[in-house]
A = this chain, B = another copy of it.
Amino acid sequence: MDARGPSSDSSPWMPFESRRRARDEKRDAVLRTAVHLFLEQGYHRATLNEVAERLNITKPALYNYFRGKEDILFECWALGQERVDDFIAGIDAAGGTGLNKLRKLIRAYAEVMTTDYGASLVRFDPRDLTEKNSRVVRAAKRSIDRTFRKYIADGIADGSIGPCDPKMTAFVIAGSLNWIGHWFQRDGAMSAEAIAGEFTERLTEGLAVKSTRRVASTPAKRKKSSGGTR
């Protein structure tokens, strides 16, 4: 009825296939709508009724695609996590100096933070998940954290990054990036790419050992500053 194109009548599988595809498309639509609403209003204030309304279906229909509200929330998070996993895999595969990998990570992570699913990673509260899902989320968060620290440690080891405490540095960098998920507006003045670029620069300029940089930012400077502050 709706097509000839990809699904010819001859195959008995095609309708099945197309039906499955249709189903997946609807599932995705639910997720897109849900994540948007959850971000817009907050998970608790957002109701499944409104999710359904925006999709022009009724609330119980959602239960064909998801087990419940929490399931939807978890899936939103999972989609964001998937993207992070993907580009981390890519960065790992590509190799390079620690600083190099860190810069790629920052850029990619910043860009993800400007998307709905990316913001899910930091705007949703794991305590709204079942214990089982919550554990998955916390494990993933720790994993991301480890990745940050590892790239930093790698950089220190390979000389591309000056000596510093990987743990704290990771906190500084990741916090800065995570916060993007809280303030970024798609219709704001800056593009996601521009932000990603800026953050990459800002967050690494103090770390790199380089001829240029060396002059500028040696660890030395730290002393004065802390002394004078208080």
Q: A residues touching B (Cβ–Cβ < 8 Å)? A: 41-42, 44-45, 99-100, 103-104, 107, 125, 127-128, 162-165, 167-169, 171-180, 182-183, 195, 197-208, 210, 212-226, 228-230
A226's partner among B125, B162, B183, B221 (CB-CB below 8 A) is: B221
Residues of B contacting A165 in the complex (Cβ-Cβ under 8 angstroms): 198, 222, 225-226, 229-230
A178's partner among B107, B175, B200 (CB-CB below 8 A) is: B175
A198's partner among B168, B182, B212 (CB-CB below 8 A) is: B168
Given the contacts A183-B171, A229-B226, A202 and B206 also touching, CB distance less than 8 Å: yes
Copies of this chain in its oligomeric complex: 4
Given the contacts A201-B222, A222-B219, A229 and B45 also touching, CB distance less than 8 Å: no
A221's partner among B173, B197, B203, B216 (CB-CB below 8 A) is: B216
Q: Which residue of B lies closest to A168 (CB)?
A: B198
A218's partner among B42, B44, B214 (CB-CB below 8 A) is: B214
7 A-B Cβ contacts within 8 A?
A42-B125, A44-B44, A107-B230, A179-B179, A213-B224, A217-B223, A221-B223
Q: Are B229 and A220 in contact (CB under 8 A)?
A: no
Report the Cα distance A213→B165, complex, angstroms: 19
